[in-house]
Chain A
Amino acid sequence: EIVLTQSPGTLSLSPGERATLSCRASQSVSSNYLAWYQQKPGQAPRLLIYGASSRATGIPDRFSGSGSGTDFTLTISRLEPEDFAVYHCHQYGSSHTFGQGTKLEIK
């Protein structure tokens, strides 16, 4: 099973700042099949990024994904108030596993 480790566990930033979230895999993710989701309290996860770097429909361009192999990054270029949430990475190249999540909170 591929284990995904997200860091940091919690990230405290202010609106307007840049956020960089990391997701590291215990082995290479096949075809870079790596997705990112945003989840707000009491809500379902929302797909942001798939294939490591492709934005899902309707996702603002301040969200970008990068990386390959075992190291992946989600970047939010300028934080908006609605961006403060929990972010999950998900590999779907070999069955399915998720990271433990990164909580992005307002500083």
Chain B
Amino acid sequence: QVQLVQSGAEVKKPGASVKVSCTASGYTFTSYDINWVRQATGQGLEWMGWMNPNSANTGYAQKFQGRVTITMNTSISTAYIELSSLKSEDTAVYFCARRLIRGEKYFDLWGRGTLITVSS
């Protein structure tokens, strides 16, 4: 089954860091970039960044530069996003989504999301 399975919900304190995983199955992991998108409650979607599993190249939205790191372990088809210096405004559902490397850059498969709550 073609899917992206994400790690479970977490509660973090302000100033802490969080790392969310996204494990792919059912397709060739190296044929797709992994992107990360978040959604605060009642809000729209917000793109955070991407990583190419072949080159390890990354790109981040300017808003998150210096605070976000995307990594991968291709041997287990898993991508990670780490967000540091958490603030209450980072409370959101974090989605991973794949994008065909050789093709248009839309997201054709999404994970079910991971709720990150930042609260003291």
Q: Is this pair of chains taken from one and the same complex?
A: yes
Query: Which A residues fall within an 8 A CB radius of B?
Result: 33, 35, 37, 43-47, 50-51, 56, 88, 90, 92, 95-101
Is A90 a contact of B104 with CB atoms below 8 Å?
no
> CA separation between A44 and B105, bound complex, in Å?
18
B9 adjacent to chain A (CB < 8 Å) = no
Is B106 a contact of A33 with CB atoms below 8 Å?
yes
Is A95 a contact of B112 with CB atoms below 8 Å?
no
Q: Which of B45, B108, B110, B113 contacts A98 (CB 8 A)?
A: B45
Residue of A nearest to B95 (CB): A44
Is B112 a contact of A98 with CB atoms below 8 Å?
no
Total interface residues on B, CB under 8 Å, equals 20
Q: Given A99-B44, A100-B43, A100-B44, A90–B106 Cβ distance below 8 Å?
A: yes
Which residues of chain B from 35 to 62 have a CB within 8 Å of any chain A CB?
A: 35, 37, 43-47, 61
Q: Chain A binding site: helix, strand, loop or mixed by DSSP?
A: loop
B111 adjacent to chain A (CB < 8 Å) = yes
Q: How far is the CB of A105 from chain B (nearest CB, A)?
A: 15
Residue of B nearest to A35 (CB): B106
Q: Chain B binding site: helix, strand, loop or mixed by DSSP?
A: loop
Residue of A nearest to B111 (CB): A44
> CA separation between A42 and B108, bound complex, in Å?
18
Q: How far is the CB of B18 from chain A (nearest CB, A)?
A: 19
Contacts of B97 in A (CB 8 A): 45
Query: Which B residues fall within an 8 A CB radius of A?
Result: 35, 37, 43-47, 61, 95, 97, 104-113
Q: How far is the CB of B79 from chain A (nearest CB, A)?
A: 15
Is B104 a contact of A44 with CB atoms below 8 Å?
no
Would you list 13 pairs from A and B whose C-beta atoms are within 8 A, ordered by A residue? A35-B106, A35-B107, A45-B95, A47-B109, A50-B104, A51-B106, A88-B44, A92-B106, A95-B61, A96-B47, A98-B37, A98-B44, A99-B44
Q: Which of A33, A47, A97, A100 contacts B107 (CB 8 A)?
A: A47
Is B47 a contact of A98 with CB atoms below 8 Å?
yes
Closest 5 CB pairs of A and B: A44-B110, A96-B47, A100-B44, A98-B45, A92-B105
Q: Given A44-B95, A50-B104, A90-B45, A96–B110 Cβ distance below 8 Å?
A: no
